[in-house]
Structure 1
């Protein structure tokens, strides 16, 4: 390896700063919402001649009205610092140290306030990390929780893989430990497979998350896809025992009577491009939920014309029929986009949704009846006059009818306006 010439490597800066403002109100007497976001990420490389680098990834939430969630309570304004660390190479760039708050995607998105060390062995990278585990609610350092682990990465021709062991200690006890594995492999230009696995080593060893996909393009313009997944949520109270629990999705563990909520999903999709401008797609999805041993099936079909009558207008029409765990739903959607100029695009969208609760004759069905029709529509304008600047403006309306729950018997019209400005450098 040739020696590095530091004098010929000036400091490199790149990143972005983004402002988002949102206003939402309805005609049902609910609170008005007005809050903003400031997102910033910054990467500085070769800050010093020795190769020091800096990374910042953060969001500032400013809630002007004190109502961050329109229906479910208030959340104070706060700053979210996802990553803030300094990195430095050693031993002729074969060893890299990073100190600070980091999200280790190669370790299953492990989050740590501490130190990581990674050794470059060519196609293989090996690393370890350790430090405090930040609080996921308020993003503050948690001195009672320690996160540590080890990872390995491999890149060779069409293979890109990583594996990691992660351990989280809370106090003197093990809070969580899990194995992580990610594999992307391209067999050929037509066949691509990927896998994402999280295996928990906890109360019961189990696969808490697995995402697998196969993407196959046998001929140009024709694509087949298969996606399989399993994911487990936190353990909840068993509703058959705690019947008075009105919101089981927010319940905590109580005693030994718990249920492991596990979802298994399989989706098969196919798409076909014809006559250059037309794109037809459809998919079938099947889900199983362990909590009540229910199954759900969904079917989606759509057609997109990417240049209607040589005007540059793109139209996308789709339909979705879903036999859910507790509801049967049908939705029809139409989306349109027109590139007025190289820097300006206009969009419009509309969706009709109809849902009917299954088992309305039961006590639970009457209490949580969600039978209704919803009309969704929106407009958008996206303007990028220069390469580094972009301005977006969106309006979305939701008209909900047939509200039959105990909160509201009237129709509800919700208006939401969001503006976004981004600067990239």
Structure 2
């Protein structure tokens, strides 16, 4: 959902006379000077859990109470490359897949993504004519705005990025279809549920089209990063599309590789990451992994099994997270609406899940907004970071991350950001 606030008595800035714009600029500069005088030191840069969220999982520190899983296997020892069956069953329930599709690993699903792509480059996949690294060029489709770490990973590995718009229902399917006729296009990044940073939810219809469409590359992959599958902010809980089922039904079972983790569920640095994919992809991944590892941290996996019990335990835990962070998202909406509603200089999302608010300001002013905020003591993610190579062609996109600061800091920071947005817009309109 996107809007620019409720209907107010504010006149759109573009409709003001030159004299009125100049007068308003003087007023807003005064507001900005007052903001700077506060000596703020606030940070909205990263989508990290707050300390109170991490506290919800402190009982993990006294677990596990045993060192054997339900089959009697000693989890302290080597082995079990695909992870404990119990933790795979929990993730399978949460992700809507069969437990046999899941591999549970260490704390970072991002590491698993890197492993998959590097293995494709070095060895190719089950249906690759040759390793990706032997192709003249490899390209990935990147919905934008999107997740910056996806983009920096591709840049590091020398993979070219082509962009498509991210709509409220998922990637622009027609734009994707126009690109996959190129055999160099080997993949698509997608955060399907509460996307980073737009909060978009990929519909079952869009997912079905993505899984079924013909592609020139026989080994085309959709890296389905379901990082926020259970990170709801309201009672209206989005259900992720059945990527694996849709792909199998369309005759492309190897197309999607799903990723998820507990990184924003329990301890961000000490969770459990998983992959879920087709039997052929799973066997291929485990074969590659077997050269690099003898088994994951099964003690940590058992710790999580004991802590949650089952998937419903995760869902109950996430409702506690929601109670802590939903007021912060409400504070973002309140601050933007109060200052910017009706001015016609900004649009923002009101997400129903995930970790971010997507803010689009007047074209050509996002970098200036970030600069003004920095000078006022408010750290924002660099403008354009949600685009490959940090290049937003319109210089209008800013990702807001309200979860880590305490509520009072979110309120203060967002009031300040709203001032910076208006000041940057007025500077541009009067230049």
Normalised to the residue count of structure 2, the TM-score between the two structures is: 0.22
Query: Which structure's residues are more often helix, by fraction?
Result: 2
TM-score (norm 1): 0.22
RCO comparison, higher one (Cα < 8 Å, 6+): 2
For the pair shown, which has the larger CA radius of gyration, 1 or 2?
A: 1
Q: Report which of the two has the higher share of strand.
A: 1
